[in-house]
Amino acid sequence: MAVTDILARPFASWSQQKRQGWATILVAVAFAIYPFLTDDDSNIDTIANAMSYATLALGLNIVVGFAGLLDLGYAAFFAIGAYYYGIFTAYQVMPHWSSGWEPLAAVGLVEKINQGGGDLVHFTMSFWLALPTGALVAGLFGVLFGAPTLRLRGDYLAIVTLGFGEIVPIVARNAESITNGAAGLNGVKGPTIPAWFGFEGYSFGVNATPYYYVGMALVAILIFSSIRLRDSRIGRAWMAIREDETAASAMGINLRNFKLLAFAIGASFSGFTGVFFVSKLQVATPEMFNFSVSSMLIVMVVLGGMGSVWGVVVGAALLQLLQTWILPRTTDVIRAIGETVGSDFLMSADLVQWTQMFFGVIIVIMMLFRREGLIPATRAQPKLEMEEQHADVKRGGFVNVDRIEKWHPGTGNALEIKDVTVRFGGLVALNKVNLTIPAGGVIAVIGPNGSGKSTLFNAITGLVTSEGSIKFEGHELIGLRPDEVLARGVARTFQNIRLFPKLTVLENVLVGQHCRLKTLPFGAIFRPPSARAEEQGALRKALDILGLFGNRLTPRANHTVAGLSYANRRRVEISRALASRPRILLLDEPTAGMNPNETLELAEQIGELNAMGLTILIIEHKLDVVTRLANRVTVLDHGDVIAEGTADEVQRNEEVLTAYLGRAHRAKIEAQDAAKETANG
C-alpha cells in the first residue's frame, strides 16, 4: 500500500476514480506497446503465459474470493475448455464421412479428408467460435459438478473439488479414443484470422506476439467483468454468502442458485482460458491440468488477496515472474558466486527445482502474517470528522421519515401461527404454539432463555423445519426457504447480530434489497440503462434508510460493519431488514446490550415504524420496552405458550410470575398497585 500511496501523492487533488482510471489506461498502454520495444520473443511468450494464468486466477477469484467456495480442483474446468477445443480441431476423433456432415462443412466446422479406407471427417472449429462456446461448455460442467456438492459446508467442498480436479485428468488419460490418453492431443490448430474484404487473412502459427494481444484482451475482459460483477447485486450476494450463509439466506439470497452461478462463471472463465492456452501450446496432455495447476492458482489468489481483482492479477504476475525470471537469475548469480569461491555445492545449485517449495512457503507466510493478501480487497476506510463521530441520544424517533414510503397494513391478521411444533432430536423446542399477529399491530414474545422464542422466529423464517401451519397474509410459509419467506415480506433481525462483517454498512443494507432487485449477470456486466437505474434507485433507498438514524450511520456508510459499535450494528441490522421492504418485521431482542438511553431511543423508533404502518413481532426481555410497544404479549416457557394478553395482564399471571418474572417482579407490581390505590383513595 505504501508504494501506491507515494505514487498517488502528486495526484491527490484527483478523485480516486480518476486516478484509478488513468493508472489502468497507463498500464494498458504499457502492455500494448511492449512487444514493439523488445526483440526477445521469449519474453513476449512468457508474458502471454502469465496472462493466461491471470485469467485463471480471476476466474478462481470469483469462486474463492467473492463467493468463498474453496475450489481445489479448478484446473478441471481449464482442462475441459482445453480438451473441448483440442478435440474439435486435432486429428484425433475422425468419424467416417457421410453426406450428413455436408451442412457443417458448409459453415466451416468440419472438412472432408480423403484417405485410403474412405473419407473421414476432420473437425475444424474456429478459435473465435471456440472461445465463447468453450466458456459455455465449461460453465455447464461447473453447474454439473457444483449441483451435488454446493450444499456442503466449505471444507467438504474443498475435498470434493479436489476429487473432481483429479477425476478429470484421469478421464482424459483413460478415454484414449477421444483424448489420445497420456500422450495427449497433438496438432491442435492455432487461431487464424480469416480473409475479409481485402485483408488477406492471418495465421497465428507459433509467433508469440498475436497470442500476447489476445491474452491481453482476455485479461482486460475478465478484469472488467469481475469488477462489474463485484459491484453489483450479484457480487454483493456472493460476498454475503461468503460472510454468513444463514444470514444471506434470511436476507433473500437463494444460496443454491448464487453458489452455482459463482461456480459456473468461474468455470467459464477457466474454459475460456483453456481454449486460449491450448491453441497457444497446440498440444493438450492430462498432466497440464493436475493438482499442481489448481494449487498454483490458489497460491496466486492467496498471494494477491482473496476477493481482490487487481490483487489476483498481480499475484499471477508475481508467481510467473518468480518462476521464469527471479529463480533462474538467482540461480545464475549463486552459480557465479560458487565459481568465484570454488564451491561445488553453490555451482550446482538450481533454484528452479525449488519453485513448488516457494509456493508452499508463500502460502504459509501469507496465512500466518498477511491473510488479506498483498492488495487487500477491503478498501481503506474514510476517517470521520469530530461532529460525525459525535451523536447525541435523540428522543422522538427517526429523522427524515418522509423519505421512507409508508406501509398500508390492511386489516385482518398478518401472521397466523397454528399448532407449530419444532423438534431437535428428542427435544421439543416448540410445542403446538398458536399465535396471531393482527396487521398493523405490535406483538411481543417474552419468556425465559431457552423457552423457544428464537426458535419460533427460525420456524417462521424457514431456518428450521417445523410442523403445523404458519400463514402470512393467507399464504403458507412452512416449506419455504428463508429467501422465499423474505420475498413474501417477512424480514427479521438476529439475537446475536448476523451482519456481513467485511462488507460496508451501505453494502449490508443493499444486500437487504437483493430480493427486490432483478439484475442478472448480463445486466451487471454490461449495465444497460435499466440496470443502472435500478442500482441507483437501490443506492438512494439504502441511504434514505440509513438516514433515518440521523448521523449515526450515514457518515459510516462506507465503513465495514466489523468496526462499528454494538448499538450501531443493531441499527444496521434493522436497516438491512427494512431495506427488503418487509410487510412484517421480526425483531429478536433489538435492544440487547444497549444502555437505557439507547434502548429508549430505539424503542421509540420501533414505535414509529409501527405508526408508519409496519406490523412488528418482537422478542424482548426489557419489560418497559414491551409495555411501551406491544398491543399483546405472548409468554413462552419450555416451548409452550403459558400466557397471552396485554402487557399488564401477563405481568399478573401466576404462571408467568413463577416461570419468568419472579418474586421480585410480583412485589414490584403489588407495590405499584398499592401506590395507585392510595392515589385513588
Partner 1 sequence: MTSGELFLQQLINGLNLGAMYSLLALGFTLVYGIMELINFSHFNVFMVGAFIALGVLRLMGLDGQNVILSGLPLVAVILVAFVVTMFSTGMIGVGIERLLLRPLRAVTGPAAMILTIGVSYILFNIILIGVGGDTRNFANPLPSVSWHFGEATLRLRDVLIWGITIVLMLGLTYFVQFTKLGKGMRATAQDPEAARMMGVEVDNVVGLSFFIGSALAGASGLIFGLYYNYAKVDMGFSAGLRAFTAAVLGGIGNVPGAMLGGVLIGLIEAGSSQLIGQAWADVIIFSILVIVLVFRPAGLLGRQAPNKS
Burial of 521 by CB count in 10 Å (0-12 exposed, 13-18 middle, 19+ buried)? middle
361 lies in the binding site for partner 1 (CB under 8 A): yes
DSSP per residue over 244-274, as a string? -HHHHHHTT--HHHHHHHHHHHHHHHHHHHH
3 lies in the binding site for partner 1 (CB under 8 A): no
Distance in Å, CB of 655 to partner 1, minimum? 30
- Comparison of 31 and 291: residue with beta carbon closer to partner 1: 291
For residues 569 and 494, give the distance between their C-alpha atoms in angstroms, rounded to a whole number. 11
How many C-beta atoms lie closer than 10 Å to residue 503's C-beta? Answer: 22
Residue from 111, 346, 354, 394 binding partner 1 (CB under 8 A):
354
Residue from 136, 363, 428, 669 binding partner 1 (CB under 8 A):
363
Residue from 67, 265, 302, 657 binding partner 1 (CB under 8 A):
302
Among candidates 544, 543, 585, 549, which has minimal Cα distance to 569? 549
Residue from 113, 170, 333, 337 binding partner 1 (CB under 8 A):
170
Radius of gyration of the chain (CA): 31
Beta-bridge mates of residue 216: none
Phi, psi of 381 (to 5 degrees): -95, 130
Distance in Å, CB of 287 to partner 1, minimum? 12
Distance in Å, CB of 77 to partner 1, minimum? 16
- Comparison of 141 and 211: residue with beta carbon closer to partner 1: 141
Q: Map residue 227 onto helix, strand or coil.
A: helix
Q: Map residue 573 onto helix, strand or coil.
A: helix
For residues 610 and 606, give the distance between their C-alpha atoms in angstroms, rounded to a whole number. 6
370 lies in the binding site for partner 1 (CB under 8 A): no
174 lies in the binding site for partner 1 (CB under 8 A): yes
For residues 338 and 334, give the distance between their C-alpha atoms in angstroms, rounded to a whole number. 6
- Candidate segments 92-100, 355-363, 388-396, 556-564, binder of partner 1 by CB under 8 A: 355-363
- Candidate segments 359-367, 387-395, 512-520, 572-580, binder of partner 1 by CB under 8 A: 359-367
Distance in Å, CB of 585 to partner 1, minimum? 24
Residue that is written with C-alpha cell 561445488 in the block: 344
- Comparison of 36 and 369: residue with beta carbon closer to partner 1: 369
- Comparison of 21 and 360: residue with beta carbon closer to partner 1: 360
For residues 209 and 47, give the distance between their C-alpha atoms in angstroms, rounded to a whole number. 10
Amino acid making up residue 34: Y
- Candidate segments 55-63, 231-239, 358-366, 544-552, binder of partner 1 by CB under 8 A: 358-366
- Candidate segments 79-87, 164-172, 558-566, 606-614, binder of partner 1 by CB under 8 A: 164-172
Residue from 103, 187, 194, 360 binding partner 1 (CB under 8 A):
360
465 lies in the binding site for partner 1 (CB under 8 A): no
- Candidate segments 77-85, 290-298, 529-537, 598-606, binder of partner 1 by CB under 8 A: 290-298
For residues 541 and 522, give the distance between their C-alpha atoms in angstroms, rounded to a whole number. 23
Residue from 26, 32, 167, 183 binding partner 1 (CB under 8 A):
167
DSSP helix, strand, coil percent of the chain (3-state; round to 5): 60, 10, 30
- Comparison of 126 and 458: residue with beta carbon closer to partner 1: 458
Burial of 485 by CB count in 10 Å (0-12 exposed, 13-18 middle, 19+ buried)? buried
Residue from 357, 667, 671, 674 binding partner 1 (CB under 8 A):
357
Residue from 96, 151, 379, 406 binding partner 1 (CB under 8 A):
151
Amino acid making up residue 144: L
Please give the size of the binding site for partner 1, defined by CB under 8 A: 39
- Comparison of 217 and 361: residue with beta carbon closer to partner 1: 361
Burial of 170 by CB count in 10 Å (0-12 exposed, 13-18 middle, 19+ buried)? exposed
Beta-strand (E) ranges in 83-199?
Answer: 110-113, 120-123, 185-186, 192-193
For residues 412 and 418, give the distance between their C-alpha atoms in angstroms, rounded to a whole number. 16
Give the DSSP H/E element, type plus range, for residue 3: helix 2-8
Distance in Å, CB of 595 to partner 1, minimum? 28
- Candidate segments 144-152, 447-455, 614-622, 649-657, binder of partner 1 by CB under 8 A: 144-152
**Dihedral angle at the C-alpha atoms of 637, 639, 641, 647, nearest 10 degrees?**
50
Burial of 402 by CB count in 10 Å (0-12 exposed, 13-18 middle, 19+ buried)? exposed
For residues 461 and 489, give the distance between their C-alpha atoms in angstroms, rounded to a whole number. 10
- Comparison of 243 and 483: residue with beta carbon closer to partner 1: 243
Residue from 368, 386, 664, 679 binding partner 1 (CB under 8 A):
368
Give the DSSP H/E element, type plus range, for residue 424: strand 413-424
- Candidate segments 123-131, 171-179, 326-334, 522-530, binder of partner 1 by CB under 8 A: 171-179
Q: How far is CA 615 from the centre of its chain?
A: 31
Residue from 95, 108, 132, 154 binding partner 1 (CB under 8 A):
154
Distance in Å, CB of 167 to partner 1, minimum? 5
Among candidates 580, 572, 537, which has minimal Cα distance to 556? 572
Distance in Å, CB of 139 to partner 1, minimum? 20
Amino acid making up residue 244: D
Q: Which residues in 53-92 contact partner 1 (CB under 8 A)?
A: 68, 70, 72
Contact 102, 121 (CB under 8 A): no
Distance in Å, CB of 410 to partner 1, minimum? 36
The pattern of x and - marking residues 314 through 353 that bind partner 1 according to CB under 8 A reads: ---------------------------------------x
Residue from 164, 457, 472, 549 binding partner 1 (CB under 8 A):
164
- Comparison of 155 and 387: residue with beta carbon closer to partner 1: 155
- Candidate segments 116-124, 169-177, 466-474, 639-647, binder of partner 1 by CB under 8 A: 169-177
Amino acid making up residue 282: Q
Distance in Å, CB of 68 to partner 1, minimum? 8
148 lies in the binding site for partner 1 (CB under 8 A): yes
- Candidate segments 2-10, 364-372, 394-402, 659-667, binder of partner 1 by CB under 8 A: 364-372
156 lies in the binding site for partner 1 (CB under 8 A): yes
Among candidates 398, 457, 417, which has minimal Cα distance to 610? 398
- Candidate segments 143-151, 252-260, 509-517, 624-632, binder of partner 1 by CB under 8 A: 143-151
Among candidates 269, 307, 330, which has minimal Cα distance to 52? 269
Beta-strand (E) ranges in 268-344?
Answer: 283-284
298 lies in the binding site for partner 1 (CB under 8 A): yes
Among candidates 639, 660, 448, which has minimal Cα distance to 652? 660
- Candidate segments 94-102, 152-160, 526-534, 637-645, binder of partner 1 by CB under 8 A: 152-160
Among candidates 23, 28, 203, which has minimal Cα distance to 127? 203
Residue that is written with C-alpha cell 570454488 in the block: 342
Distance in Å, CB of 366 to partner 1, minimum? 8
364 lies in the binding site for partner 1 (CB under 8 A): yes
Contacts with partner 1, residue ranges (CB under 8 A)? 68, 70, 72, 148-149, 151-152, 154-156, 158-160, 162-164, 166-167, 170-171, 173-174, 291, 295, 298, 302, 353-354, 356-357, 359-364, 367-368, 371
